Structure 1
């Protein structure tokens, strides 16, 4: 779809949407475009400002991020540093790893990662001790 600003010989300006530039040209050549104010059928494209959105801002690099402001934010940042320093990041294998440790088929160790809601519910229902973290992990695996 394309939007054009149009004008008639009387100077009335209006906008209209077209499937593409060729659709505008075909309708204009056939005299099928009309001014909504005066009904004139000699319609031309007018100068228009393109509707360009600004580029998305780049998220700040970790060193550019602002220091936590509230006590709660400070506590969450401290918890994140502790978890990331002392636990193994297992990513999407979290549910499998947690269940294996609970069943005794894998050695116990501190882990963190991601689990789908249904996986987390199943772990809790089976008595596997898990808890959601109040932050998004920084590390990702390939």
Structure 2
């Protein structure tokens, strides 16, 4: 069995268990998975943090990390919490934007120049293209949690 974090087009997040990734894909394709909040059947996998169990030779519960270390830097627990919050917010926002793939720089520039309707988009671009967008005053920023392009998803 495998658990997936899922979200609908209404940005509702929920968990569901499946026998395998193939089982999820089959049920998704047949419209058998529905959001328990709104009933939407347009359900996708959401970004999720891995659940990794402790090694059997380690102490079951490690002492809690302080929020900051002796040098004032964030501790591991605080960093995990912050990263989880970033991943959750990104997963909430992605369904509201349109995937443009490798055409990101061209699509962003077209919107900036008024040649295309303004829209929330996400996609891929090179570091050089991203810097050129910023140099031209076009707002673009990297996603903090990497995503799998739709065409490469299970």
- TM-score for the superposition, normalised by structure 2: 0.46
Larger Rg over CA atoms: 1
